[in-house]
Amino acid sequence: MQPRPVYALPEYRGSGKLRGKVALITGGDSGIGRAVAVHFAREGADVSIVYLNEHEDAQETCRLVQEEGQRFVAIAGDIGDEAFCQYAVQETVRQLGRLDILVNNAAEQRVTPSPEELSAEQLERTFRTNIHSFFFMTRAALPHLRPGSAIVNTTSVVAYTGSYTLLDYTATKGAIVSFTRALARGLVGRGIRVNAVAPGPVWTPLIPATYGPEEVAHFGRETPLGRAAQPAEVAPSFVFLASEIDSSYITGQVLHVNGGALTCS
């Protein structure tokens, strides 16, 4: 990608907000997931990432986390498979000793010009990756989470604004908002906070993989800030929601990191 995404700003200095914690991040090989992994590590957390098959990207995330002095685990597999999600959580706990933070972040999207062209196979695949996996990972993680733990889900600005050519993706992102709110209410008695981040346009590998050159060239210009965000500008919101120091009184909420777009949340 040109320019290369920025995953961490040098001026971001960790203060131990997540020291001693273990985080599991889906889709942590690149994009927002990688930036979250690096920021969590900078705040003192050990990190486990789940990814599909992007082995070189996962190794780069590994290098960045280890440069922060933290332990790292990478687990390859399909989060649309519930058995794999159970394995990923078990392997994280086996190698890192515990689990405190779950970040449900992985997603896929494909442009479809009209509903008539949206196949049943694509619809099923998008929902299995983008929302079914949130149920699978959460269900697998809950036996290991304790009071003070946090779940942070990645939704999107399109959950509020809609995107006609990303109809299935938009629907899953709306489902994530409702999932977050309902789960937060259900887990409050266990002392587990559940929140979400709704990014606007972010410069990640998903963008050139989804759109043509002209759309990529203008990506993000429709925002009031007139540009797309870098992953490093989104990741601190995940730190905030994962940190008891910062957000102990916040649950069931969505943070909008969208360049100034107005939403009804």
The residues assigned a catalytic role are 169
Distance from C-alpha of 211 to C-alpha of 192, rounded to nearest angstrom: 38
Distance from C-alpha of 131 to C-alpha of 223, rounded to nearest angstrom: 26
The 3-state secondary structure of 142-198, one letter per residue:
HHHCCCCCEEEEECCCHHHHCCHHHHHHHHHHHHHHHHHHHHHHHHHHHCCEEEEEE
Distance from C-alpha of 129 to C-alpha of 104, rounded to nearest angstrom: 10
Interior angle at CA 61, CA 59 and CA 66, nearest 5: 95
> CA neighbours within 13 Å on the CB side: how many for 203?
19
